[in-house]
Structures are given as structure tokens and as C-alpha cells.
Amino acid sequence: RTHGIWAEPTTFGLKLATWAFELDRDRARLEQAVATAGVGKISGAVGTYAHLPSEIEQYVCDSLGLQVEPASSQ
């Protein structure tokens, strides 16, 4: 019984398919999170580039496989 009524029979293949598609969605979400979370900043304490030019930040972030934060602060 489920939710107060009799459950419907299902197959093991359907159960495996639901798990497989769920894992595929989770993999895609994880890839997207990794791609958007990789951000770097070396533009100074408040993001004003007082110590280094923006080209150096771009070079370092590119070398590390990170994206540059366009508007950074602390």
C-alpha cells in the first residue's frame, strides 16, 4: 500500500530507467555547477586593480581554468 491505496506493479527495468535518467540529470547539474562556480579574482581587496592590471588577472585566471569575476569586491 502507498498513500492509502494499493500500489501498482512495476518492472525492474522501469525502476532502473528512472534511476538512470535521474543520474543523468544530476550529472548535467553538476557539470553546470562546476562551470559556473570556477571564478577567480586578484584585482585587490576591493576590486579596484590598484596593484595589478586587469590583463594579469585575466592571464592567471585563464591559466587556472577560471572565469574572471566582472564586478568583484571582497
Output the CA–CA distances (angstroms, integers) from residue 16 to 6, 27, 32, 33, 43, in the order listed: 22, 16, 24, 26, 49
In a domain, 7, yes or no: no
In a domain, 5, yes or no: no
pLDDT score, position 46: 81
In a domain, 3, yes or no: no
pLDDT score, position 29: 97
In a domain, 2, yes or no: no
In a domain, 4, yes or no: no
- Number of structural domains the chain divides into: 1
Range of the domain at 26: 12-68
In a domain, 38, yes or no: yes
**pTM metric for this prediction:** 0.56
Tens of pLDDT, residues 6-63: 888 889 999 999 999 999 999 999 999 988 888 888 888 788 888 889 899 999 999 9
